[in-house]
A and B are shown apart, each in its own frame.
Chain A
Amino acid sequence: MERMAHIAQVIAPEALLETAVRVYDEGRHPLTAMFGRDETAQGTGYAIYCYFEIPEKKDMQVVKAVFDPNGSLSYQSITHAIPAAAWYEREIHDMFGLVPEGHPDLRPLVLHESFPEGFYPLRKSVKVNAKVRGERKFKVRSAKGQGLFEVPVGPIHAGIIEPGHFRFSQAGEAMLQLDAKLFFTHRGIEKAVEGKMPEEALHIVERICGACSVSNTWSFCQAVEKVAGVSVPRRAEIIRTLLSELERIVNHVGDLGNMPAGVGFNPAISLGARLKERLMRLCEAVAGNRFLRGVIVPGGVRQDITPELIEEIHSVIDATAEGVEDLATMFREQENFQNRVQTTGIIRHQTAVDLAMVGVGARASGYAHDSRSDFAFGVYPELDFQPYTKTMGDVAARLLVRIGELSASFEMVDKLLDMLRNCHGMPLHADMAYGAGEAWGICESPRGSNFHYVALDEEGRIDRLFVRSASYPNWPALTIAVQGDIIPDFPLINKSFELCYACIDR
């Protein structure tokens, strides 16, 4: 791998809005990530990085605004021009205290009521284990009017799901407005890894999220490998790509079994759960862990796929493909199921563009973004991959996109297994030697693109890690998708996006 230059266009905070709007080019170059960094030790001050995807170059363009720590920490919010920036700006405000003037909703995002005002944990002056207590206000939004009422749900839910608080404003059965208070599982992971070598941080990165273990690890490793200028041996790249597809298959099959739970369609739930369990056991056989943890490491992989495992993967995937076909038939032929999923929870194409949505959520609304084709990583360029899209943007479309992607993944797994058969005994790992530098990594998790930014210091210790998982840009879309639908459809719409909480909360 070439040592990729990481060139940011450095500007003053006053120029951020204008520059960002110019690069954004009316949505042609979506805002992939936006985050802060404390560079006072390097003499730069506080910085805001904006990553825009440039699809025609299969690359990113970086705009970096630098703040003098002794000067004004305010800048003009870019959210009005680039709606996707709304959450990023709130997060930067929480973590660094940089104030976006004119932001439409500058409530806290990450830090809830038990943290005092003016506590900015990602500033270097704050210790990692600072146990600061205080109080801050968080007002949940609701619609007011005659006959309207509120339904508060969570953070502890009735089912086995992750914590989040939802406030529905109802006009009878219809959901007028939904406000979601998230980030309950915020563990301070980005701060926890600071000062650690990439290998020391690996077990933490692997545990950002269970469903996206492979994706988070792979993006992180890509970034540190770019900084080190190390290229990963071919067999390791194939194994990584295979693991990533296995993770997608497990999650998509799990979702196919979970979505019918939103309407009480039990035979499909049961069949989906059965298929998923078989796959989880396959993952354990491959990695020694049911979430494929412990294989991907900086420089390559730690375990090989033996000839016996190749055959086992092959036979389980074949059986899964048959089961998925059966599930798809069940869905197609069950009219009352179709009645529930069609025209429910619609995301229009323009909404997907405005929010820079990713993954299944974007592709079901005709927004053909998939990092497997948008960027070159792993062995995807050899697999002739095309994104699978639908245009309706409803629950049914998201279901069909998953089914379509599964067939593509089954085919890719077959090709990958063939590649592995042809390169037995090849090296799995390259030696890593770190130095100062910064880089990004991206891969396609089951939920969509997963972006990591890593900056290392001279000793190779992590100075800044930023994680933008696929669920981050898609969460705000959920609150739009539900508007006008009836509240009994919420679980179904929610499951059709199947967003992680752990990934975004970090």
Chain B
Amino acid sequence: MFKVLERIFRDKIATEQVSLSGSQRFRGKLSGSVEESLLPKCQGACPVGAFQAEGSQYKIDYRKCIFCGKCVEACAVAALEEGREKDGLLHHSTEDAMPYLIEAGQEALADVLKEKLGRSLHVRHLDAGSCNACDFEMGALGNPYYDLHRYGVAFVASPRHADMLMVTGVVTRNLEQALKMSYEAMPEPRLVMACGACAAGGETYGDTYAIVGAADKVVPVDVYVPGCPPRPSAMIVGLLAVADMLKEKMK
């Protein structure tokens, strides 16, 4: 017993502030320029239809993006063939892509960290057909580095106790009913987060006989968190944004 206590005290506090930037190689938000002539190549390389050419510009649908780096590779190869400069080409930045939260008008991080007490969010996780990567990252939210409880967010055992359904994975035929029933079991006001490229975009595996699609094909979705999987810090930012939305809905 004392040995266990002694071991606990030896570790310093690991809990960190949430950061949306990753390590040097982290494939985050796309940035850089793409010459108009190279756009079709980048678009063609994208396996999930997230890279979209619009005139001379490009747009990324981060709900679908799986951050695989194929558009970046295609851009680099095509630029090399045409003998263009390498500088400033399309590349992944080390920042998490969170545009769908910002679109909803949620400047989550700064405000929420300031007033972190006085509200709570109870979450029910629902795996609708994921590869388990999102689920593992969700599990990591409880580890000493992220310590989700400090924000007043808790995972609960039943949808009947939940304010929000956190959906991971593309909705499969075998889980469609479970998703519908869990949503219907929740008390009002209720919110849904589509967490990760499968639940948010639904394009990861293409369309098959066993797949229904993204979560919003089955239940109304309030917040999309991009990533494949989203890093735990991105999930926290998403959860805090939802906590604020809930406060609005309760008014």
Q: Which A residues contact B (CB, under 8 angstroms)?
A: 111-112, 114-115, 121, 126-132, 155-156, 158-163, 183-189, 191-192, 200, 203-204, 207-211, 213, 254, 267, 270-271, 273-274, 276-277, 280-281, 284-291, 293-294, 303, 326, 329-330, 333-334, 500-502
Given A187-B172, A273-B140, check contact A207 B131 (CB 8 Å).
Answer: yes
Q: How far is the CB of B182 from chain A (nearest CB, A)?
A: 6
Q: How far is the CB of B95 from chain A (nearest CB, A)?
A: 13
Q: With contacts A163-B178, A303-B25, A501-B132 known, what are 17 further pairs, Cβ within 8 A?
A: A129-B208, A162-B135, A183-B174, A187-B211, A203-B48, A207-B131, A210-B136, A211-B132, A270-B8, A271-B7, A273-B140, A277-B14, A277-B145, A277-B146, A287-B25, A289-B67, A294-B69
Given A126-B209, A203-B68, check contact A185 B172 (CB 8 Å).
Answer: yes
Pick from B35-43, B79-87, B101-109, B199-207 the stretch touching chain A: B199-207
What residues of A have a CB within 8 angstroms of the CB of B174 in the complex?
111-112, 114, 183-186
Interface centre among B127, B134, B208, B210 (most CB of A within 10 A): B210
Instruction: Tell me if B29 is interfacial: C-beta within 8 Å of chain A.
Output: no
Q: How far is the CB of B150 from chain A (nearest CB, A)?
A: 15
Complex-state Cα separation, A160 to B127, whole angstroms: 8
What residues of B have a CB within 8 angstroms of the CB of A189 in the complex?
205, 208
Instruction: Determine whether the beta carbon of B25 is less than 8 Å from that of A284.
Output: yes
Instruction: Tell me if B137 is interfacial: C-beta within 8 Å of chain A.
Output: yes
- Residue of chain B at shortest CB distance from A506: B210
What residues of B have a CB within 8 angstroms of the CB of A280 in the complex?
140
Instruction: Determine whether the beta carbon of A187 is less than 8 Å from that of B144.
Output: no
Given A114-B174, A128-B207, A204-B205, check contact A288 B26 (CB 8 Å).
Answer: yes
Complex-state Cα separation, A132 to B104, whole angstroms: 37
Instruction: Determine whether the beta carbon of A185 is less than 8 Å from that of B66.
Output: no
Instruction: Determine whether the beta carbon of A184 is less than 8 Å from that of B175.
Output: yes
Instruction: Determine whether the beta carbon of A156 is less than 8 Å from that of B182.
Output: yes
Instruction: Determine whether the beta carbon of B209 is less than 8 Å from that of A129.
Output: yes
Q: How many residues of B contact A (CB 8 A)?
A: 66
Complex-state Cα separation, A185 to B4, whole angstroms: 39
- Residue of chain A at shortest CB distance from B143: A273
Instruction: Tell me if B248 is interfacial: C-beta within 8 Å of chain A.
Output: no
Q: Which B residues contact A (CB, under 8 angstroms)?
A: 3-4, 7-8, 11, 14, 22-27, 47-48, 66-70, 92, 124-127, 129-140, 142-146, 155, 157-159, 169-170, 172-178, 182, 204-211, 228-229, 231
Complex-state Cα separation, A433 to B160, whole angstroms: 55
What residues of A have a CB within 8 angstroms of the CB of B182 in the complex?
156
Instruction: Determine whether the beta carbon of B205 is less than 8 Å from that of A188.
Output: yes
Complex-state Cα separation, A129 to B143, whole angstroms: 40
Given A155-B175, A160-B155, A185-B169, check contact A121 B26 (CB 8 Å).
Answer: no
Complex-state Cα separation, A287 to B22, whole angstroms: 12
Interface centre among B11, B124, B133 (most CB of A within 10 A): B133
The 4 closest A-B pairs by CB, nearest first: A210-B133, A188-B208, A158-B157, A188-B210
What residues of A have a CB within 8 angstroms of the CB of B208 in the complex?
128-129, 187-189, 191-192
**Neighbour of B130 across the interface among A185, A192, A274, CB < 8 A:** A185
Q: How far is the CB of B210 from chain A (nearest CB, A)?
A: 4
Instruction: Determine whether the beta carbon of A162 is less than 8 Å from that of B132.
Output: yes
**Neighbour of A284 across the interface among B26, B66, B144, CB < 8 A:** B26
Q: How far is the CB of B28 from chain A (nearest CB, A)?
A: 9
Instruction: Determine whether the beta carbon of B142 is less than 8 Å from that of A273.
Output: yes
What residues of A have a CB within 8 angstroms of the CB of B172 in the complex?
184-187
Given A187-B208, A285-B24, A288-B27, check contact A162 B3 (CB 8 Å).
Answer: no
Q: How far is the CB of B233 from chain A (nearest CB, A)?
A: 11
What residues of B have a CB within 8 angstroms of the CB of A270 in the complex?
8, 143-144
Instruction: Determine whether the beta carbon of B130 is less than 8 Å from that of A160.
Output: no
Given A183-B174, A188-B211, A274-B144, check contact A284 B8 (CB 8 Å).
Answer: no
List 26 contacting pairs A-B, 8 Å CB cutoff, sorted by A.
Answer: A114-B173, A114-B176, A128-B208, A130-B209, A131-B209, A156-B182, A159-B155, A160-B155, A183-B174, A185-B172, A186-B174, A187-B211, A188-B208, A192-B206, A200-B47, A203-B48, A204-B47, A204-B204, A207-B228, A210-B134, A210-B229, A271-B7, A273-B143, A280-B140, A291-B133, A330-B4
